[in-house]
Structure 1
Amino acid sequence: MTDVPTEGETRTYTRTFSKDDVRQFADLSNDRGTHHEEPDEEGRLVVHGLLTATLPTKIGGDLDVLARTMTFEFHRPVYTGEEIECEVTVDGVEEADTRVDVDASVECRNGGEEVVLTGGFDGVVFRDR
């Protein structure tokens, strides 16, 4: 049986994206904006917004949530070599016979300081799969 997320539960995941990560994501998505392919004066690439958004989706996967909706607001660019910490908080849990509906909020920061992404998701956790 799948463990059910609990209201108020918070999980974090930290990752630093590399230039290779950005290049692989560009190959996969075909998003080849110049800012993703040409380094800035510090030698960094801008990380794709949706690549940054894989941080909360990784946590959602850890919680075994099958997402219905996701919303993200991108506040500032993320650069290769920056440590990004993402925190997901379970805001609501509604239990039914075969599933649990989950609502969660998201906040990601660079180096634990500046907010780079906020948002949320909702979905279901099936009790027996």
Structure 2
Amino acid sequence: MTEIRERTLAGLSAGDSFRLTRTFTEQETLAFGQISRDQNPVHYSDDFAMAKNLNGKICHGLLVGGMITEVGGQIGWLASGMNFRFRRPVYFGDTITCEFTITEVEPGNRARAEATLSNQQGEIVIEAWLTGILPGDKEREIMAGLA
């Protein structure tokens, strides 16, 4: 059982924060392009990417932003909204750290969260704002049995 899941089973509240780190590869981008059908040449052609004033091919923004869903999946977050601001490109081999913080919990376990994803230089590459529903007692009980 992950540390994130263990913390979830104990109950979550505003201020709880989670951190993940992941290095992105060209192979992941190719696979994501097949699944999403996003064939933008900026992900496949260095020449095209450089014509866009980038240093070479970049990862799909939603592939990188998907780190948020890794946290959400571990806590059993049922998403109702996600807003992204893509601030910098992510290149193959970049190591990204996602900081996911629950900012508000309302009655009925409705919640808000913010996430900041930064590269290995500490530069923010994505900011995100999320809404959703946290698991209640019954859901956490079921999650405990899935371990």
Distance 2:121 2:101 in 1: 16
The percent identity for this pair of structures is: 30
Distance 2:25 2:113 in 1: 28
1:36 equivalenced with 2:36 (yes/no): no
Mapped partners of 2:11, 2:132: distance in 1? 12
Give 1:6's match in structure 2, choosing from 6, 13, 32: 13
- Bigger Rg over Cα: 2
TM-score (norm 2): 0.77
Q: Distance in 1 between matches of 2:18 and 2:45?
A: 34
Larger fraction in strand: 1
Partner of 2:59: 47
Q: Which runs of 5 or more structure 2 residues have no equivalent in the other structure?
A: 1-7, 140-147
Residues 75, 135 of structure 2: 8 Å contact kept: no
Deviation at 1:3, TM superposition (A): 4.5
Which protein is richer in helix relative to its size?
Answer: 2
Aligned to 1:61: 73
Count, aligned residues: 125
| TM-score where L is the length of structure 1 | 0.87
The one-letter amino acid of 1:84's match is: I
Q: What is residue 123 of structure 2 aligned with on the other side? A: 114
Q: Displaced runs of 4+ in structure 1, greater than 4 A?
A: none
CA RMSD of aligned residues (A): 2.0
For residues 92 and 5 of structure 1, the distance between their equivalents in structure 2, rounded to whole angstroms, comes to 10
**Partner in structure 1 of residue 85 of structure 2:** 73
User: What letter matches 1:28 in structure 2?
Assistant: I
Q: Secondary structure at the match of 1:45?
A: coil
Any idea what SS the aligned residue of 1:68 has? strand
Deviation at 1:61, TM superposition (A): 1.4
Report how far residue 4 of structure 1 moved. 3.2
User: Whole-Å Cα distance in 1 between the matches of residues 128 and 121 of structure 2?
Assistant: 17
C-alpha separation in 1, matches of 2:88 and 2:31: 22
